[in-house]
Structure 1
């Protein structure tokens, strides 16, 4: 059965009781249960309390119209989204501090933040405020709120704060909880029920991470804040239908075309919402056998390179922040009975100091099984092939980060958070990428506009693919890989794919091989005579030697990689590009390099070996 079928098959009395008792069954105790909160792990509590103390030493962030308007004036999103995010984060931290300490000063700090959130003219981010844009304005209309990620993230804070601080807020600031409910109804619950035009519902068949991200937050708003039982039931039914639509759109292989970074805000958001529904029904819902939930839980281990590096495609960093909600994955593994999934999560537990998102942090803190989990080595698969999203990830030895790892991507150029990267690959040595996918730049007004491909990091000439007859790949679903086949003879993994349909002209085939015996990665491109091919390779690290047929690079991890090609093609052109984007700098440093080689008549071969120290 599908998710929706499982939910609708539940006995009506079971569902009614679940919604009526959702606050009691949510699995997160309120502030009054001091024994629970005072027994939380010191490392987790200390991180929260240290941040809360630092916050109290600074003024609350100011949200200015001039910053909001910058999205339309000069395309800058961060001027407003930064302070707005800081306000949400500071409020969440104050709520967490209040439940951990029970102190009135922390409750007052949380109340201040909650009211400041309520006082915002809009919870919507400027980049999403199409209602104002349609009026030719930069000021949101409070009578027509736009339900986007910003609104969902904000109402989630109000809902969880009301759950855990309710009695304390009634004692310290009577009337605040009424205001929370009014704002949640006006800005989120009523628009969700009455207006079904929201693009993230996926009614047109286009599904992406906004669907589970927003639906999950709307769910907690309905369960914890809505006092109208009729509307609460209606909201939950619509949420389940929306989550079902998202899950049915995901590939059966458990892949995620939005990449590892957005997996945490797509499939992982779905898992959190399903977990809450399962808890309040006392396990009667039991969605975990619905395909492809088991395969989706294995995606992080399949994308892991090691040492904090991951295979990234589209808008995602190759080295994401370590503070991911690994407890979500651990509970997911427990529910599907997968030891490797639990091990993947537990391996990161000691890295965790603070989880962003109030609901995620509260659920993590309350999960005793998570804190009792023993950290174990990462379960690193020897190879993973995801045929629907067309992604192969292979490493030298399963369970080890040593040696070469190779990731080869097919797909098409209309994926969610797309880069023009059909046929590109990532090669990592000792876990550290050396031929790389640069990932996500800082979002601006052009990031999701028709000017998206003006950004250098999303263009194909800044991926590890050729330029064919002087032309890059273009955006659109028609530009794709075909005949992608994976073969694993002996101790090799080999991907073969046809890239002819990825370019406006020319025929091109690519073979990418990880040879475990030879400890090499080999990329071979072939094409008919008369086609002009310029091979492009994007390199992270420090070039230390460059001569015809050879380039030696010291990787960001300190290993030495050597790139070899036919010396008759010369040295090629090695370019250095300064990286002035803060998000990219955090991953790659101040500069990256690109090697461009004019290829031969109908064949080019690149071999990667471990270089001399």
Structure 2
């Protein structure tokens, strides 16, 4: 039974009571429950809030907002907005932990500043202003995007835990929170069903659970009309159900590991809140593919903070993720390896972004007491629907080589033109790499997306065929993708405008790549490399990896040295992962066969 059917199958009285008692049943008590909060003092959270108080609040400026249209820069505006949200969230947490009126006032200041922002929408999403030919958002026609959802989430959870303190300290603020939530989020959500992230056209991505989850909190904690509250929640459940049914049965995520936290993990958080307010009556955790989705992080883990990254995702993502979400998910499906994957990171989840997630983590005793354990690191993981194989030399260990091979197509969410590409990591550290996500700008999701070098196939570990790169679009895809032991045999003929190409990638004691093609085609191999080349000669390239190990690439010496070029990395996100430069090896291949061995 689907999530939506489970919700509708509940007795109407059970649903009504769940919505009416949501504040109590959420599992997060308010500030007056000192017997709960006084024992949970988080030095890191309070210190962060205290440090914030010594600095002025960040300003949001029209000139920064307008830069999206002027020069494509998004971060000039999104940075201060994000910092304002984080500072308000830190103040709310410090207030509830300490009951100190200074932090209640700090939280109230942040909440009112958020209410007085002209728009909660990020400039990159303000299509209403773009349609008017303007760069100033109109408060009368709010756009419901991720920015608006992130903002209303802070208002909703702050109201839940600080309600009585705000009434005593700043009477009237809570009414303002409700007015702004209604005008900017709840009313647009109810009255306009054209939002692309609803997925009514069948195109589903992480915006769906990300926004729906925050709208759910807003409805439960800020909407006082029980009829409207029920209408919003019914629509949220329908939207979450649509997203879940669109996900692959193998538990894969075409948006990659980094966006998994803002896709499937957002879904889990929203379902958990619904399950809590129904006192477990909803019990969604056995609905497919939820159990498989929970296993995705362990399947993508290379170890030591490195992950298999496809599409827009860093290979070394921020370790401060809401691992408690995954731990509770593992508990609910009874999967010890899922719990172990989360517990291995328990000490790295202290600066979680998102007020609701942070508050839920603070009252999860089982999570707070979990023992830190080693990563599960499965020997091999095969996701047939998204066509991704991850296999390592030894299960449970980062030692030696790990290989990831990707099929799929070139119209995936956050797509890179990378059909048939692979990642080879030595002792967990990628050597033959996927560059991942650059800093987003105005062209990142425009028709100019493939002007960005990191998303083009020539900067992935795939060849150029007959002088042509892979192109964007669902027609460019892997054909037969056959897993054979610790490797893959994949037909790449349909990934290129011309040619007949087949690739076999295997892992034994080394990584071996064999490309074959029909006579008459011209194939030029491309390999993107992290680390420092230390020797280069015909048929051989030696690299000192970012982890300090030595990797050696070998090919037919008759093909010469190839062209080894160094590319300066000047993008801040990419530089944080790969350092100041990466290298690319280009080799004109033989008549109809090329072999590369990596040891």
Distance in 2 separating the partners of 1:37 and 1:541: 47
Q: Secondary structure at the match of 1:433?
A: strand
**How do residues 351-430 of structure 1 correspond to structure 2 at under 5 angstroms?**
351-430=348-427
Distance in 1 separating the partners of 2:100 and 2:157: 18
**How do residues 243-322 of structure 1 correspond to structure 2 at under 5 angstroms?**
243-322=240-319
CA contact (8 A) 2:213 2:270 kept: yes
Equivalent of 1:498, from 465, 486, 491? 491
Aligned counterpart, 1:238: 235
Q: CA deviation at 1:100?
A: 1.1
Aligned counterpart, 1:2: 2
Distance in 2 separating the partners of 1:276 and 1:353: 21
Q: CA deviation at 1:54?
A: 1.5
Aligned counterpart, 1:80: 77
Q: CA deviation at 1:90?
A: 0.6
Distance in 1 separating the partners of 2:549 and 2:96: 46
Q: CA deviation at 1:31?
A: 1.0
CA contact (8 A) 2:537 2:561 kept: yes
Distance in 2 separating the partners of 1:127 and 1:140: 12
Consecutive aligned runs of 4 or more in structure 1 exceeding 4 Å deviation: none
Aligned counterpart, 1:33: 33
Distance in 1 separating the partners of 2:290 and 2:367: 20
Aligned counterpart, 2:18: 18
Distance in 1 separating the partners of 2:569 and 2:47: 33
**How do residues 590-605 of structure 1 correspond to structure 2 at under 5 angstroms?**
590-605=580-595
Aligned counterpart, 2:515: 525
Cα shift readout 1:18-74 (whole Å, capped 9, x = no counterpart): 00000000001111112211212x6xx121112112211111001000110110111
Aligned counterpart, 1:205: 202
Distance in 2 separating the partners of 1:530 and 1:9: 62
Aligned counterpart, 1:570: 560
Distance in 1 separating the partners of 2:458 and 2:54: 47
Aligned counterpart, 1:339: 336
Residues 1:543 and 2:546 are matched in the alignment: no
Distance in 2 separating the partners of 1:180 and 1:415: 38
Cα shift readout 1:109-160 (whole Å, capped 9, x = no counterpart): 0000000000000000010000111011111111110000000000000000
Q: CA deviation at 1:352?
A: 2.5
Distance in 1 separating the partners of 2:434 and 2:215: 34
Distance in 2 separating the partners of 1:591 and 1:33: 53
**How do residues 66-145 of structure 1 correspond to structure 2 at under 5 angstroms?**
66-145=63-142
Distance in 1 separating the partners of 2:90 and 2:350: 13
Q: CA deviation at 1:528?
A: 1.1
Aligned counterpart, 2:52: 55
Distance in 2 separating the partners of 1:137 and 1:228: 36
Q: Secondary structure at the match of 1:232?
A: helix
Q: Secondary structure at the match of 1:586?
A: helix
Q: What CA RMSD, in Å, does the superposition of the two structures yield over aligned residues? A: 0.6
Cα shift readout 1:451-490 (whole Å, capped 9, x = no counterpart): 00000000000000000011100000000001000011xx
Distance in 2 separating the partners of 1:181 and 1:584: 40
Q: Secondary structure at the match of 1:421?
A: coil
Q: Secondary structure at the match of 1:394?
A: strand
Residues 1:467 and 2:464 are matched in the alignment: yes
Distance in 2 separating the partners of 1:505 and 1:563: 28
**If the length of structure 2 is used for normalisation, what is the TM-score?**
1.00
Distance in 1 separating the partners of 2:134 and 2:453: 31
Q: CA deviation at 1:353?
A: 2.3
Distance in 1 separating the partners of 2:293 and 2:131: 38
Q: Secondary structure at the match of 1:422?
A: coil
Equivalent of 1:580, from 567, 570, 575? 570
CA contact (8 A) 2:403 2:511 kept: yes
Distance in 2 separating the partners of 1:505 and 1:208: 31
Q: Secondary structure at the match of 2:435?
A: coil
Equivalent of 1:193, from 190, 194, 203? 190
Residues 1:227 and 2:217 are matched in the alignment: no
Q: Secondary structure at the match of 2:188?
A: helix
Distance in 1 separating the partners of 2:137 and 2:228: 26
Q: CA deviation at 1:351?
A: 2.2
Residues 1:324 and 2:321 are matched in the alignment: yes
Distance in 2 separating the partners of 1:455 and 1:58: 37
Distance in 1 separating the partners of 2:374 and 2:129: 51
Q: Secondary structure at the match of 2:596?
A: strand
Distance in 2 separating the partners of 1:132 and 1:379: 48
CA contact (8 A) 2:321 2:348 kept: no
Distance in 1 separating the partners of 2:37 and 2:526: 55
Distance in 2 separating the partners of 1:458 and 1:35: 52
Cα shift readout 1:228-253 (whole Å, capped 9, x = no counterpart): 11110000000000000000000000
CA contact (8 A) 2:421 2:461 kept: yes
CA contact (8 A) 2:126 2:137 kept: yes
Q: Secondary structure at the match of 2:39?
A: coil
Q: Secondary structure at the match of 1:169?
A: helix
Distance in 1 separating the partners of 2:208 and 2:590: 47
Residues 1:150 and 2:143 are matched in the alignment: no
Distance in 2 separating the partners of 1:540 and 1:199: 38
Distance in 1 separating the partners of 2:487 and 2:460: 20
Please, which runs of 5 or more residues in structure 1 have no aligned partner? Answer: none
- Count how many residue pairs are aligned between Structure 1 and Structure 2: 599
